């Protein structure tokens, strides 16, 4: 009884993707408790995805834009207006099935806050939603043959094997990591009356798998504008870099796995509180990071390529199986140095804050790797000599291009690119220019689909003795182009070992023109 022993490989196959843009536009009335709006200084927004509903050939995304606007009131003071705009967007994804795995990424392309009148503000934004679809894909590939050797008439089977490198999906998991910190004001800073503006951003985040855990480290950049305590107290700002590191327990993770991890800041909260003396000089920070993790395990599989028997007739059924192979895992650093000229730069006294957002416009596969085109959107906050407008902001777009080396990449390659801002600085130079220096991290995991012929089943039957008798017992043979010892042995009903012994060969390699003596195997 002939039986094939098979190994199951679990993978997620990329099935397709779809992109949709949502335009948000709404007007907001300034509450009666707040001053009239004279000038908008800063505006910022965060997208929160509330649900992603997978339906047949459609994904419905529900979420909201939370925005914050810092404006100068008619009385000259600074005030903060917050609000949100909800959205629900159906995205058509041809071929999508309910059991498929859907990944959603989003980008706030543009946020524009404008003054309609002193009591009404318009908020407009464009949100890009990108859906990627994977489907579970299991391959059963024959790796060994059981001939039932305990029986007298069991097949005498010759086996040809080949090695295939496969990237199996070892784990898909989402988890969160919380950062709780306390910041104390330095002695030269006045007490906090109330917070006007706060920001938290991630910098230089890296992850790495270890046995039983996922390691995480990076920096949380904190920026704060607050009203000082006391009548006539000036507006103050504070900028801190808070390093963090930690681990997530994941029992099934091993340090040899290859990760693709996307990290988002999904919750951030900053609250002023009194210190031990009862003075408002401390702040509690609470931030939550979400890690969307996919880990692959590289496996070297020895597949059965071919079978034949010297005492039985074998009938093989074959099929094609497609696997993913890790082509490259490349962590690159794109360095940017750019000088930009600011309007009314003669009035700028000091840059007090800068932050940046990385936006990828296009990726293109070429012979030498993956070409990435994008923009670093830099926002600058600065003090001016204009008493009526002492705090101003500007946004500058700095384009960049980078080649991520990926030998062997082609149009079929599945590219998983995670990117982020690692470093950023902005320094005033002479002539009214600002020098911007930045480092962008580009983490590429490239998977190459490969398709292989596999043996799906095999049956055996008694040998046709008439056909066997027709084969000569011994024959001289001249090796032809494309021949191998396996092909020759199978055709002439013998074995590779028999050929090597009869011809005194020490290696299995033969070349066209070689002369061999072939002896029929009688099992």
In this predicted structure, the answer to whether residue 23 has a pLDDT above a threshold of 90 is yes
CA distance 117 to 115: 5
In this predicted structure, the answer to whether residue 1 has a pLDDT above a threshold of 70 is no
The confidence score (pLDDT) of residue 88 equals 96
Residue 33 and residue 124 in one domain: yes
**Per-residue pLDDT band at 321 (split at 50, 70, 90):** confident
Tens of pLDDT, residues 101-150: 888 989 998 899 999 999 999 999 999 999 999 887 777 788 888 877 65
The alpha carbon of residue 248 and the mean position of all alpha carbons in its chain are separated, in whole angstroms, by 18
The confidence score (pLDDT) of residue 523 equals 55
Q: 497: part of which helix (H) or strand (E)?
A: helix 496-503
Residue 124 and residue 207 in one domain: no
Last residue of a domain, which of 310, 345, 369? 310
- 151 or 224, which is more confident? 224
Residue 5 and residue 126 in one domain: yes
Last residue of a domain, which of 450, 474, 509? 450
* Bridge partner list, 63: 49, 87
Q: What is the CA radius of gyration of the chain?
A: 33
Residue 289 and residue 331 in one domain: no
Last residue of a domain, which of 117, 140, 163? 140
Interval 62-76 mean pLDDT = 92
CA distance 13 to 101: 10
Count up the domains in the chain and report the number. 4
pTM over 0.95: no
Q: 491: part of which helix (H) or strand (E)?
A: helix 485-491
CA distance 81 to 28: 9
List the CATH number of the domain containing 488: 3.10.350.10
The torsion region of residue 140 among left (phi > 0), alpha (psi -120 to 50) and beta comes to: beta
Residue 233: DSSP 8-state: P
Q: Which of 371, 353, 438, 441 is nearest to 398 (CA)?
A: 438
Residue 152 and residue 274 in one domain: yes
The confidence score (pLDDT) of residue 184 equals 94
**Domain of 501, in residue numbers:** 464-523
In this predicted structure, the answer to whether residue 310 has a pLDDT above a threshold of 60 is yes
Q: Are 190 and 233 in contact (CB under 8 A)?
A: yes
**Per-residue pLDDT band at 493 (split at 50, 70, 90):** confident
Residue 441 and residue 477 in one domain: no
Range ranked top by mean pLDDT from 258-272, 341-355, 381-395: 258-272
Q: Which of 445, 413, 6, 15 is nearest to 257 (CA)?
A: 445
The confidence score (pLDDT) of residue 468 equals 67
| 241 in any annotated domain | yes
| 499 in any annotated domain | yes
**Per-residue pLDDT band at 166 (split at 50, 70, 90):** confident
Residue 134 and residue 37 in one domain: yes
Tens of pLDDT, residues 167-218: 888 898 999 999 999 999 998 899 999 999 999 999 999 999 999 999 999 9
**Secondary structure of 80-135 in the HEC alphabet?**
EEEEEEEEEEEEECCCCCCCCEEEEEEEEEEEEEEEEECCEEEEEEEEEEEEEEEE
């Amino acid at each position: 009884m002939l039986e094939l022993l098979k190994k199951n490989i679990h993978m997620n196959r990329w099935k397709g993707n779809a992109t949709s843009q949502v335009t948000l536009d709404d007007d907001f009335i300034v509450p009666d408790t707040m001053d009239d709006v004279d000038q908008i200084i800063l505006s910022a927004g965060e997208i929160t995805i509330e649900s992603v509903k997978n339906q047949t050939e459609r994904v419905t995304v529900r979420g909201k834009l939370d925005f914050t606007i810092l404006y100068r009131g008619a009385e000259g003071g600074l005030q903060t207006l917050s609000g949100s705009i909800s959205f629900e967007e159906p995205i058509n994804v041809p071929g999508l099935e309910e059991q498929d795995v859907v990944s959603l990424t989003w980008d706030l392309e543009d946020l524009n806050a404008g003054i309609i009148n002193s009591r009404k503000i318009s908020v407009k934004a464009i949100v890009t939603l990108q859906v990627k679809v994977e489907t579970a894909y299991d391959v059963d590939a024959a790796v060994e043959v059981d001939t039932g050797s305990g029986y007298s008439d069991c097949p005498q089977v010759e086996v040809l094997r080949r090695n295939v490198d496969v990237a199996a999906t070892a784990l898909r998991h989402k988890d969160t990591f919380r950062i709780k910190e306390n910041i104390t004001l330095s002695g030269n800073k006045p007490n906090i009356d109330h917070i006007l503006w706060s920001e938290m951003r991630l910098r230089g985040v890296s992850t790495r798998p270890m046995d039983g855990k996922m390691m995480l480290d990076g920096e949380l950049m904190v920026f704060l504008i607050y009203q000082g305590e006391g009548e006539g107290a000036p507006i103050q700002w504070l900028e801190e870099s808070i390093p963090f590191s930690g681990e997530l327990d994941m029992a099934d993770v091993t340090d040899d796995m290859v990760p693709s991890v996307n990290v988002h800041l999904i919750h951030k909260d900053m609250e002023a509180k009194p210190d031990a003396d009862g003075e408002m000089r401390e702040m509690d920070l609470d931030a939550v990071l979400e890690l969307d993790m996919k880990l692959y395990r590289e496996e070297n599989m020895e597949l059965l390529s071919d079978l034949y028997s010297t005492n039985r007739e074998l009938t093989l059924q074959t099929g094609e199986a497609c696997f993913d192979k890790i082509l490259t895992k490349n962590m690159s650093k794109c360095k940017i140095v750019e000088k930009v000229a600011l309007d009314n730069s003669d009035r700028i006294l000091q840059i007090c804050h800068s932050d940046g957002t990385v936006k990828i416009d296009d990726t293109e596969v070429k012979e030498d790797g993956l070409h990435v085109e994008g923009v670093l959107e830099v926002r600058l906050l600065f003090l001016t000599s204009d008493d009526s407008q002492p705090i101003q902001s500007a946004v500058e777009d700095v384009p960049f291009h980078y080649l991520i080396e990926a030998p062997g990449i082609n149009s079929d390659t599945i590219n998983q690119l995670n990117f982020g801002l690692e470093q950023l600085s902005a320094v005033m130079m002479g002539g009214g220019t600002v020098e911007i220096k930045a480092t962008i991290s580009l983490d590429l995991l490239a998977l190459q689909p490969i398709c292989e012929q596999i043996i799906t089943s095999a049956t055996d039957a008694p040998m046709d003795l008439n056909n066997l008798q027709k084969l000569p017992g011994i024959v001289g043979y001249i090796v032809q182009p494309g021949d191998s010892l396996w092909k020759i042995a199978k055709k002439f009903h013998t074995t590779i070992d028999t050929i090597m012994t009869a011809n005194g060969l020490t290696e299995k390699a033969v070349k066209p023109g070689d002369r061999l003596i072939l002896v029929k195997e009688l099992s």
